[in-house]
Structure 1
Amino acid sequence: MSKKDSLTKEQLRAVDAWWRAANYLSAGQLYLLDNPLLRQPLQPEHLKQHIVGHWGTCPGQNFIYTHLNRAIVKYDLDMIYLCGPGHGGNAVVAQDYLDGSYSEIYPNISQDVAGMKRLFRQFSFPGGIPCHTAPETPGSINEGGELGYSLAHAFGAVMDNPGLIAACVVGDGEAETGPLAAAWHSNKFLNPITDGAVLPILHLNGFKVSNPTIFARISHEELEMFFKGCGWEPRFVEGDEPQSMHQKMAAALDWAVREIQRIQEYARSSGDAARPRWPMIVLRTPKGWTGPKEVDGKIVEGSWRAHQAPIPVHDGRPGRLEQLEAWLRSYHPEELFDENGALIPSLQDFAPRGERRMGANPHANGGLLLRDLRIPDFREYAQEVPRPGAVETEDMAVLGGYVRDLMSRNLAGRNFRIFGPDETASNRLEQVFQASGRRWADEIDPETDSCLSHDGRVMDAALSEHLCQGWLEGYLLTGRHGFFNSYEAFIRIVDSMVSQHAKWLKVCRQLPWRQSIASLNYVLASNVWQQDHNGFTHQDPGFLDHVANKKADVVRLYLPPDANCLLSCFDHCIQSRNQINVMIASKLPRPQWLNMEEAIKHCTHGIGIWQWASNDQGHEPDAVLACCGDTPTLETLAAVTILRHHLPDLKIRVVNVVDLMKLQPHTEHPHGLTDEDYDALFTTDAPIIFAFHGYPTLVHELTYRRHNKKLHVRGYKEEGTITTPFDMRVRNDIDRFHLVMDTVKRLPQLGNSAAYLIQEMKDKLVEHRQYITTHGQDMPEVRDWKWNGGKGIY
Structure 2
Amino acid sequence: MTKVEHQNSSTVLTDDELRTLDAHWRAANYLSAGQIYLMANPLLREPLLPEHIKPRLLGHWGTSPGLNLVYTHLNRVIKARDIDALCIWGPGHGGPSVLANSWLEGSYSQTYPDVGRDGAGMERLFRQFSFPGGVPSHVAPETPGSIHEGGELGYSLSHAYGAALDNPDLLVACVIGDGEAETGPLAASWHSNKFLDPVHDGAVLPILHLNGYKIANPTVLARLPEHELDELLRGYGHSPIHVSGDDPATVHRAMAQAMDDALDRIGALQESAREAGVGERSHWPVIVLRTPKGWTGPAEVDGVPVEGTWRAHQVPLAGVRENPEHLRQLEAWLRSYHPEELFDADGRPVADALACIPEGTRRLGATPHANGGLLLRDLPVPSLDRFAVPVDKPGTTLHEPTRVLGDLLEKVMEDTSARRDFRIVGPDETASNRLQAVFDASGKAWQAQHFPVDEHLDRHGRVMEILSEHTCQGWLEGYLLTGRHGLFSCYEAFVHIVDSMVNQHIKWLKTSRQLPWRAPIASLNYLLTSHVWRQDHNGFSHQDPGFVDHVLNKSPEVVRVYLPPDANTLLSVADHALHSRDYVNVIVAGKQPCFDWLSMDRARAHCARGAGIWEWAGTENGGEPDVVLACAGDVPTQEVLAAAQLLRRHLPDLAVRVVNVVDMARLMPREEHPHGMSDFEYDGLFTEDKPVIFAYHGYPWLIHRLAYRRSGHKHLHVRGYKESGTTTTPFDMVVRNDLDRYRLVMDVIDRVPGLAVRAAAVRQRMEDARMRHHDWIRIHGTDLPEVAEWTWSG
- What's the TM-score, normalizing by structure 1? 0.98
CA distance in 1, matches of 2:200, 2:279: 9
CA distance in 2, matches of 1:719, 1:314: 59
Shift of residue 748, structure 1, vs aligned partner: 2.1
Change beyond 3 A, Cα 1:314–1:746: farther
Shift of residue 317, structure 1, vs aligned partner: 3.9
Does residue 129 (structure 1) correspond to residue 121 (structure 2)? The answer is: no
CA distance in 2, matches of 1:751, 1:776: 34
State the Cα deviation string for residues 358-385 of structure 1 (Å, max 9, x = none): 0000111101111111221111111011
What is the aligned partner in structure 2 of residue 512 from structure 1? 516
CA distance in 2, matches of 1:315, 1:734: 64
CA distance in 2, matches of 1:398, 1:642: 30
On the 8 A contact 2:72/2:356 being kept in 1, the answer is: no
CA distance in 2, matches of 1:431, 1:346: 58
CA distance in 1, matches of 2:337, 2:716: 67
Aligned pairs (5 A) from 1:492-571: 492-571=496-575
What is the aligned partner in structure 1 of residue 448 from structure 2? 442
CA distance in 1, matches of 2:431, 2:215: 43
Does residue 296 (structure 1) correspond to residue 302 (structure 2)? The answer is: yes
On the 8 A contact 1:36/1:117 being kept in 2, the answer is: yes
What is the aligned partner in structure 2 of residue 13 from structure 1? 19
Shift of residue 750, structure 1, vs aligned partner: 2.0
Q: Which SS does the other structure have where 2:586 is aligned?
A: strand
Q: 1:467 aligns with which of 471, 479, 503?
A: 471
Aligned pairs (5 A) from 1:62-211: 62-211=68-217
CA distance in 2, matches of 1:746, 1:20: 75
CA distance in 1, matches of 2:338, 2:506: 42
State the Cα deviation string for residues 43-66 of structure 1 (Å, max 9, x = none): 000000000110000000001110
Aligned pairs (5 A) from 1:11-90: 11-90=17-96
State the Cα deviation string for residues 562-605 of structure 1 (Å, max 9, x = none): 00000000011001000000100010011110111111110111
On the 8 A contact 2:24/2:352 being kept in 1, the answer is: no
What is the aligned partner in structure 2 of residue 761 from structure 1? 766
State the Cα deviation string for residues 388-417 of structure 1 (Å, max 9, x = none): 011011111111111111110110111111
What is the aligned partner in structure 2 of residue 583 from structure 1? 587
CA distance in 2, matches of 1:697, 1:297: 57
On the 8 A contact 2:399/2:593 being kept in 1, the answer is: yes
State the Cα deviation string for residues 706-730 of structure 1 (Å, max 9, x = none): 1112101111111111111111111
Shift of residue 280, structure 1, vs aligned partner: 0.7
Change beyond 3 A, Cα 1:4–1:412: closer
Does residue 614 (structure 1) correspond to residue 585 (structure 2)? The answer is: no
Does residue 775 (structure 1) correspond to residue 745 (structure 2)? The answer is: no
What is the aligned partner in structure 2 of residue 324 from structure 1? 330
Q: Which SS does the other structure have where 2:757 is aligned?
A: coil
State the Cα deviation string for residues 41-88 of structure 1 (Å, max 9, x = none): 000000000001100000000011101101111111111111001111
CA distance in 2, matches of 1:256, 1:537: 45
Q: 1:334 aligns with which of 337, 340, 351?
A: 340
What is the aligned partner in structure 1 of residue 418 from structure 2? 412
Shift of residue 345, structure 1, vs aligned partner: 2.5
Structure 1: tracts of 5 or more residues without a match: 790-794
State the Cα deviation string for residues 672-708 of structure 1 (Å, max 9, x = none): 1111111111011000000000111111111111111
Change beyond 3 A, Cα 1:704–1:9: same
On the 8 A contact 1:57/1:85 being kept in 2, the answer is: yes
What is the aligned partner in structure 2 of residue 572 from structure 1? 576
On the 8 A contact 2:750/2:756 being kept in 1, the answer is: no
Q: Which amino acid aligns with 2:477?
A: E
Q: Which amino acid aligns with 1:601?
A: A
Q: 1:670 aligns with which of 656, 666, 674?
A: 674
On the 8 A contact 1:287/1:307 being kept in 2, the answer is: yes
CA distance in 2, matches of 1:137, 1:442: 37
CA distance in 1, matches of 2:114, 2:756: 74
Shift of residue 6, structure 1, vs aligned partner: 2.0
Shift of residue 172, structure 1, vs aligned partner: 1.2
On the 8 A contact 2:697/2:720 being kept in 1, the answer is: yes
Q: Which amino acid aligns with 1:15?
A: L
Does residue 707 (structure 1) correspond to residue 711 (structure 2)? The answer is: yes
What is the aligned partner in structure 1 of residue 5 from structure 2? none
Q: Which SS does the other structure have where 1:752 is aligned?
A: helix
Does residue 354 (structure 1) correspond to residue 360 (structure 2)? The answer is: yes
What is the aligned partner in structure 2 of residue 792 from structure 1? none
Q: Which has the larger displacement, 768-777 or 562-571?
A: 768-777
Q: Which amino acid aligns with 2:202?
A: G
On the 8 A contact 1:191/1:273 being kept in 2, the answer is: no
On the 8 A contact 1:190/1:275 being kept in 2, the answer is: no
Q: 1:478 aligns with which of 479, 482, 493?
A: 482
CA distance in 1, matches of 2:234, 2:314: 33
State the Cα deviation string for residues 277-296 of structure 1 (Å, max 9, x = none): 10110000110001000111
Output the aligned Cα RMSD: 1.0
Q: Which SS does the other structure have where 2:561 is aligned?
A: strand
State the Cα deviation string for residues 511-537 of structure 1 (Å, max 9, x = none): 000001000001111000011221111
Shift of residue 299, structure 1, vs aligned partner: 1.0
On the 8 A contact 1:193/1:273 being kept in 2, the answer is: no
- What's the TM-score, normalizing by structure 2? 0.98
What is the aligned partner in structure 1 of residue 755 from structure 2? 750
Number of aligned residues: 785
What is the aligned partner in structure 1 of residue 649 from structure 2? 645
Shift of residue 348, structure 1, vs aligned partner: 2.6
CA distance in 2, matches of 1:288, 1:273: 44
Q: 1:737 aligns with which of 723, 733, 742?
A: 742
On the 8 A contact 2:320/2:330 being kept in 1, the answer is: no
Identity of aligned residues (%): 60
Does residue 232 (structure 1) correspond to residue 238 (structure 2)? The answer is: yes
CA distance in 1, matches of 2:292, 2:87: 21
Does residue 451 (structure 1) correspond to residue 471 (structure 2)? The answer is: no
Shift of residue 5, structure 1, vs aligned partner: 6.0
CA distance in 2, matches of 1:56, 1:108: 29
Does residue 786 (structure 1) correspond to residue 791 (structure 2)? The answer is: yes
State the Cα deviation string for residues 411-455 of structure 1 (Å, max 9, x = none): 01111111111100000001111111000012222x311210001
Structure 2: tracts of 5 or more residues without a match: 1-8
Q: 1:283 aligns with which of 271, 285, 289?
A: 289
Shift of residue 314, structure 1, vs aligned partner: 4.7
CA distance in 2, matches of 1:756, 1:127: 67
CA distance in 1, matches of 2:749, 2:60: 62
CA distance in 2, matches of 1:615, 1:64: 70
What is the aligned partner in structure 1 of residue 270 from structure 2? 264
